[in-house]
Structure 1
Amino acid sequence: MPIDVAAAVGAPPAETSISWQHKDVQLYHLGLGAGTDPLDPAELRYTLEDRLTVLPSFATVAGGGMAMMDGLSAPGVDVDLMAVLHAGQRVEVHRPIPSGGTATQTSRVVAVHDKGKAAVLVLRVEAADADGPLWTCDSELYLRGEGGFGGDRGPSGRLERPDRAPDLTADRPTTPGQALLYRLSGDWNPLHSPPEFAALAGFDRPILQGLCTYGIALKTVVDRVLDGATDRVRSCATRFSGVVVPGETLRVRMWTSPGRVQLTVTAVERDDADVLTDTVVEHD
């Protein structure tokens, strides 16, 4: 069924109340692979409540759900979930995320771009607590078969890779069961768990959640460039360009400049196949 763009973009924001505790943050970090070395003080800041720091990417799962899915239930949007791909993600934090709290979250469709054979729906989720704004998340959902309605194509968002060797490179192994652990933070998409469902989508086995890869990449930048200071991150944007099979090794290449890190993530075991591209972390 074609998307009613005017109805989707013109609908009032949906509002919900969310809350989280330190153990939700700890579980999220463990799902990204934090704490592999339980004696490393740099890892314990992600896993122990008495020194807990929060990665800004936690905003994508705060409250135990996936707020981006609200975009698929917005007025004027009626699509086949099997035809939906998560194309891109951007998180901007307005101040450090507390390790526990309650917030009001609003979500609305801010744009629907016409890519010809597909449409890209942009959902904006904003969260605020009693002290003011906390974060803004923009999710891009690629809807196959929903384009061709004569709308604006929207920005390309493509970045040129720097014409030099990366300043830093880090390999991050994933585990065969990582998708099962990460899903406990709220991503219940069956594409990442029952093998039979993954087979229906054309995969030999369940794949890793794109937002898990996104979190691993951000953690790598925080650890390798920002000395573990999660509160220095201002935003992180990416494009999902390929899948990750749990158990593969992720290679994170980083190009640094003042206030900015551009990076790519590839799957080592598949000849460095692109996984995340057009990825930028902005920081203080």
Structure 2
Amino acid sequence: MLDLAIIGGGPAGLSAGLYATRGGLKNVVMFEKGEPGGQITGSSEIENYPGQKNPGESGFDFMSTWWKQCSHFGLTHTWANVTGIRKNEDGSFDILLEGDKIEKAKAVIVATGSTPRRAGFKGEDEFFGRGVSTCATCDGFFYKNKEVAVLGGGDTAIEEAIYLSNIASKVYIIHRRDGFRAAPTTVEKARKNEKIEFITNATIKEAYGDKAGLSGLILNTQNGERDLKVPGVFTFVGLNVNNEILRLEDGFFICDVVDGGQVDVDLKMQTNVAGLFAAGDIRKDAPKQVVVAAADGAVAALSALSYIENLH
């Protein structure tokens, strides 16, 4: 039986693995169906992590050193797709894996994070991957010297618009309000960028194109419809928490969740189920910042250590 199962390999999961193994747990496995790093590896720029050696580096470069450090004390990475978690009568947990495999653990930390939310405009699904994207780092290169649009008003949207301005000939930022959730300094930086144009109090009504891909967007604005002819649009309108592994056969969750599906935890990252912890973007009130996710992982690991010690 595992001492601790960590589900998710982003900053929260990696940090949890580091603190758990360094704290003395010998049998700790991090389940992640891909390479460790998490969603942040798709970010074009990280510049606000305390002590960062190279502010402004990409998320991929930033996370590239984490696994070596976090595995130094014995953390193991298992490439597996976790499909569920069940608690047994003896207090242990079953980790259900794809292929009807089961791993048992004394405690579990869930750090599965979140995924980009769809904006919901007509044509979004039809042209997803053919002009509609949620990753500027992944797809920005395809729009070199072309005009593109960014939908959203948070930090990610504005930061990615700035990143795209280094590639595209022009970037339109489309936002449904005048005000922005992004940090004022980030917004000001974008406003000073000559290649960025703000289109506020506007929404995307429809994306249109042909077999070759996206041709443009029909916007609803204060002055009526506007035809914005762009071959690419990047949407940053929030995230959906990846909580499906916490759902039971009857449709309910194994632990308490709040509106929106985030896991309800206390300051120790403990859920209402003894031995089950949640950290990072999946937990309630998560600020969606790498430094916080890493801290969550550390807290969850320390709490798990205490929980496991008290089992004996």
TM-score range, shorter chain: under 0.3
Compare CA radii of gyration and give the structure with the larger one: 2
Bigger RCO of structures 1 and 2 (CA < 8 A, at least 6 apart): 2
Normalising by structure 1, report the TM-score.
Answer: 0.24
With the length of structure 2 as denominator, give the TM-score of the two structures: 0.22
| More strand as a share of residues | 1
